[in-house]
Structure 1
Amino acid sequence: MKYFISSLLLLTLAMSSIASPKGYSIQTIETPPNVLFHITGLDTDKDGNMYCATRYGDVWVYKNKTWHKFAEGLHEPCGLVLDDDGSIVVTQKPEMTRLIDSNNDGKADLYIPLTREFKFHNNYHEFNFGGVKDNDGNYIGTLGTAAGPTAKGLKLSAMASLGDWRGWAYKVSPEGKFTPIASGLRSPAGLGRNPAGEIFYTDNQGDYVATSTMHQILPGKFYGHPISLQDRDDFTPEKLKKMTDEEFDKLRTLPVVYIPQEEVANSPGNPEWIDSSGKFGPFKDQFFVGDQTRSNIFRVTLQKVKGRYQGCVIDFISGLQCGNIRLKFDKNGDLWSGQTSRGWTARGTKTFGLQKVVWDKKTIPFEILDVKLTKSGFTVQFTEKIDEKSIDQSKISRWWYEYSRKYGAPKSDLEDINASSVKLATDGKTLTIECPLVKEKVYCLDFSGISNSKGEKLGNTKAYYTIVNLLD
């Protein structure tokens, strides 16, 4: 009965919230026949060839519309990055591994461990995520915590750890030197970087994660899940058991954005940066993120306020065939989606696959382009000119999320607020909104009533801005 109700709920939500921006289509790539092609790692080379790691332990290459297997026998890899020398670095559960084709026959014959400094304790949830390099050439990974009845070690809530850097972000030099970077990660399913080389990760809702989040990885920071603190010299398991959630809260660094549960995402994957080339339409200098449960892709725009990032979440496209755990732009600007269900429910009807989102290179969809905080409210950019008569239909609400060891949390202190002023700029595409501002709030700007000059409604009507700091 529980499964039936969950499936019915997902079907109802899927039917009521399809995002389909004009000018963008979803194309399905045929995967190798009779292969459980659950994609958990995705990268491309300069020629546009696509490299896919599957959770069943293979690495495949898609070249000239033909598949060939490059490697096999890996232990549930969850990240893949193509290196400058043509080798491939994968993050599999027990280690980070370099794959080399030394005789140029198209198959890896050298599987060289880069690091085993962390430990894998044979728990299904101890994933090792990867797929990015920093500006110094280090490979970045994130380690999931243990879950379920077989989870062993310190357990403060739903997740457990025997230590050994579970719940940490780490880097590995090309020579294999392992360095832990930051703690407090729960289920950090996706990594991405911007052109400046700054690294970001997403975390999935659960204990100490009220709703899914995106963080910037910075040295020494603690992002909220306390199970990982046992690996720091200033904490012990005994000390952690005595600490309260209020004490942990004082230590944590708040996320770049909160991602509203069900409204936007449930289980986000890697953030994939779009540059300013215009190959993917009007969107530039922001992240695209896929979600496993909702089978959709959403956007995250960034703003640096008082020395740290915060930003806005806007849905983009839904209706993909499966959960989107990995995204990658190719040389043409097409957005590829590596997909898996891994046994978890997703809105898409398939259990695995590969698709790509393609722009027709001419149609500009009517969308919220970006939202930025001002000293007295927000500026909102749209992709097309809007009808000035419709701007009074804007609605604003705000809330926050409780930090606790409970599994997820609803919106706290939810309230509707009124804008004192809404003005349209001379370009016809920019709204200036003045409204009461409070830090540590998520603001939902609802433009359901707004239309463009042709009378068309927005493809996605809501923007969710997370205020951590206010502008002076």
Structure 2
Amino acid sequence: MHKLILLITCLFSLFLNAGYKIERIDTPKGVDAQIGGLAFMPDGRLAVSFNYGKIFTYNPKTNEWKLFAEGLHLPLGMVAINNHELMVMQRPELTRIIDSNKDGRADTYLKFYDDFGLSGNYHEFNFGPVRDKDGNFYIGLNVASNNGGILEEPRGKFLSYDIEKKDLEGKYDVKLVKKTVTRMYSCVPYRGWIMKIDPKGKATPYASGVRSPNGLGFDHKGRLFVSDNQGDWLGTSKLHHIREDAFHGHPASLIWKEGWTKDPKKMSAQELNKMRQPAAALFPQGILANSPTQPLLDSTQGKFGPFSNQMFIGEMNLKRLLRFIPDEVNGTVQGTLIHFLDGNDLGNGNNRLAFDKDGALWLGKTHLSWAGDEGLKKITWDGEVDFDVHSVKQIPNGFSIKFTQKVDAKIALSAKHYAIKKYSFDYHAKYGSPRKNEANIIPKSIQIAADGMSVSIIFDALQKAQVYQFELAKIKSASGKKLASPLFCYNLIENLQ
């Protein structure tokens, strides 16, 4: 009977790639199972931070949960320093939590960094940390929302070009705030920034212009990527390649830039657009993702499938995980977002990701006040490679698409088997943007590589600042298989020179 139920479940997971198995892990009894952070310790134990303030360790060999720390305020990420120490990002601070007597339970909580503002606004979430090869930590600080006010005694200097502090406090005038304050705002230091903290706890404002950076991660070259959610000044959700001193588009954070004197609200979109660094990839709303989360490098060296050095990304609203395929053009990182896993077995609320030493992907879920789920899942690969898009690279006036298996040449050479369009999104203060200037485009020519593993598609020309969306549902492998993930979007920032 159990096997029958499992079979039915798999049948309803329509887009679950062959070779991947998903299993649910029971969480500690009596604990709200919304997960804000996952981190594997060197000895193989998984540290799990639950949103309502507790951290447990889980031993995959014995299936044993053990309380490690408690009394935290919304811990939404962590890094395992060793088998007895975690660096945890909670609402008020980045905290070093230590099990000094090595009994499996933390006994020391040390403030590592807290020199950022807290207004008391409900939307001031903090994300991260991640750590680079030099031991520096990076965190992301959410901006506040005009759906909420602030406390009378915020931490840090108050600054607003829109409204006086007293008019945001306590039982504030909702209509006044909605009318005068930008939808998302930064009234205390470094809200809307990515912060860099060195190994001694000294912080540097690293990059500005993020809105809701729910997910930070490094790629195989040590480049930092951050996901950001659709909203004001974000026509659709984005994956940013974070560079030092870059402005990534949301203007609220600019007031905390050293030497800044302008009111961002009075700046035109054109003026701001000249300052901003385009996102590496875009998640078209409703097509790829509605609320992307943590990007995680596939560092498993083939233990989790054929996608080494690509990044997997969670998604809150849809029952989906995605892949990011980077493509560096003229020194700019751009690239492709594509479905990886979809379906009922996976579920939604996919918030935090971590690989274990055996190459299995662990997935922590949450919902907070939005769409999502809760719990912990484990995804393993059995070695079977499905027919899928492996990678996408820009070539002169076109794209080269590499597959995981040989393609059916007769089908692949026919332009009628490709549904390709291009479009863009507005950069403006409004919440989100429809797809703009959407147009179907027809390949000028199609070529198949001698080994049958890739297809080159050429157009009359390629246009900057466009999303190129491909639907290859009619493409089949040489053995007759359909593509596991037929829809993907390439974000074109730079043309090959």
Q: TM-score, normalised by structure 2?
A: 0.88
1:396 CA drift (Å): 1.4
Instruction: Indicate the percent of aligned positions where both proteins have the same amino acid.
Output: 39
Flag the 1:86–1:101 CA change in 2: closer, same or farther, 3 A: closer
Which 10-residue stretch deviates more, 216-225 or 16-25?
16-25
Flag the 1:216–1:451 CA change in 2: closer, same or farther, 3 A: same
Asked if structure 1 preserves the Cα contact closer than 8 Å seen for 2:118 and 2:188, the reply is: no
Which residue number corresponds to residue 273 of structure 2? 249
Question: 1:269-418 maps to which residues of 2 (within 5 A)?
Answer: 269-275=293-299, 277-319=301-343, 320-346=346-372, 351-361=373-383, 363-391=384-412, 392=414, 393-418=417-442
Which residue type is aligned with residue 258 of structure 1?
Answer: L
Which residue type is aligned with residue 489 of structure 2?
Answer: Y
C-alpha distance after superposition, 1:259-307 (max 9, x if no partner): 1111111111111101362101111110000101113100001111111
Flag the 1:246–1:18 CA change in 2: closer, same or farther, 3 A: farther
Asked if structure 2 preserves the Cα contact closer than 8 Å seen for 1:82 and 1:89, the reply is: yes
Q: Tell which structure's C-alpha radius of gyration is larger.
A: 2
Which 10-residue stretch deviates more, 77-86 or 289-298?
77-86
Asked if structure 2 preserves the Cα contact closer than 8 Å seen for 1:151 and 1:161, the reply is: no
Which residue number corresponds to residue 160 of structure 1? 185
Which residue number corresponds to residue 69 of structure 2? 71
Asked if structure 2 preserves the Cα contact closer than 8 Å seen for 1:41 and 1:131, the reply is: no
Which 10-residue stretch deviates more, 420-429 or 218-227?
420-429
**SS at 2:265 equivalent:** helix
Which residue number corresponds to residue 89 of structure 1? 87
| Superposition CA RMSD, Å | 1.7
1:46 CA drift (Å): 3.0
1:455 CA drift (Å): 1.5
**Aligned match of 2:38 in 33, 42, 45?**
42
C-alpha distance after superposition, 1:85-144 (max 9, x if no partner): 741001111111100111212111111011111011112211110031012201110000
Asked if structure 1 preserves the Cα contact closer than 8 Å seen for 2:84 and 2:102, the reply is: no
Distance in 1 (alpha carbons) for counterparts of 2:483 and 2:251 = 41
Q: Which residues of structure 2 form unaligned runs of 5+? A: 1-10, 151-159, 163-180
Q: Does 1:459 align with 2:484?
A: yes
Which residue type is aligned with residue 220 of structure 2?
Answer: P
Which residue number corresponds to residue 237 of structure 2? 212
Q: Does 1:149 align with 2:171?
A: no
Q: Which residues of structure 1 form unaligned runs of 5+? A: 1-14
Asked if structure 2 preserves the Cα contact closer than 8 Å seen for 1:205 and 1:267, the reply is: yes
Distance in 1 (alpha carbons) for counterparts of 2:247 and 2:149 = 22
Which 10-residue stretch deviates more, 433-442 or 239-248?
239-248
Q: TM-score, normalised by structure 1?
A: 0.93
**SS at 2:145 equivalent:** coil
**SS at 1:337 equivalent:** strand
1:329 CA drift (Å): 1.1
Distance in 2 (alpha carbons) for counterparts of 1:98 and 1:462 = 42
Asked if structure 2 preserves the Cα contact closer than 8 Å seen for 1:55 and 1:78, the reply is: yes
**SS at 1:83 equivalent:** strand
Asked if structure 2 preserves the Cα contact closer than 8 Å seen for 1:154 and 1:161, the reply is: no
**SS at 2:221 equivalent:** coil
Asked if structure 2 preserves the Cα contact closer than 8 Å seen for 1:91 and 1:130, the reply is: yes
C-alpha distance after superposition, 1:60-106 (max 9, x if no partner): 11013111110011110111100147410011111111001112121
